[in-house]
């Protein structure tokens, strides 16, 4: 069995097959020896791997930032519209930010222990919430400063 010959788990090989992980360089060398092919043939023979190396998958970080900023702007205008102060909002979001950050770090740690590096949808959702909560008071302050400047000029 291949997993035994490489001294790894069957789950590791399954992750390679599913594209969720890549073998270590040491395992690539062992695979080339086991199958009697050069490392170059082993790697270049995988068109999907070559495409992912040449054009890496889109990272969701930019999407997280854009979504969070959009929600924060919308939330700021709604909260200001119903006359909730920045201080009140800041007090409200302290605990959710702390808890969200802890959950996010836990999700990232769990996936790294499993050698799964892309973030899950849950982790991305928590990242959006935490970043939105962090941005909300700042966006509210900016909007209040802008309105105050307009009133002084008008």
Q: What is the pLDDT of residues 18-51, one digit of tens each?
A: 777 778 888 888 888 888 888 887 777 666 666 6
Q: Could you tell me how many helices (H) and strands (E) the chain has, helices first? A: 8, 0
Phi, psi of 114 (to 5 degrees): -90, 5
- Name the pLDDT band for 129 (thresholds 50, 70, 90): very high
Q: What is the pLDDT of residues 62-112, one digit of tens each?
A: 788 889 999 999 999 999 999 999 999 999 999 999 999 999 888 888 877
Answer for the pair 133, 93: CB distance below 8 angstroms, yes or no.
yes
Give the residue among 110, 77, 147, 152 at the shortest CA–CA distance from 119.
110
């Amino acid at each position: 069995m291949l997993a035994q010959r490489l001294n790894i788990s069957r789950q590791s090989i399954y992750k390679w097959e599913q594209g969720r992980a890549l073998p270590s360089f040491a395992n690539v060398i062992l695979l080339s020896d086991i199958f009697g092919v050069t490392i170059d043939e082993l790697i270049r023979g995988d068109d999907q791997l070559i495409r992912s190396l040449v054009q890496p998958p889109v990272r969701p970080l930019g999407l997280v930032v854009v979504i969070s900023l959009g929600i924060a702007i919308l939330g700021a205008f709604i909260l200001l519209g119903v006359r909730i102060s920045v201080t009140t909002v800041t007090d409200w979001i302290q605990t959710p930010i702390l808890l969200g950050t802890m959950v996010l770090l836990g999700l990232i740690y769990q996936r790294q222990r499993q050698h799964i590096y892309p973030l899950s949808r849950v982790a991305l959702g928590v990242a959006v919430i935490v970043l939105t909560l962090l941005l909300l008071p700042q966006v509210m302050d900016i909007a209040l400063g802008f309105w105050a400047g307009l009133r002084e000029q008008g």
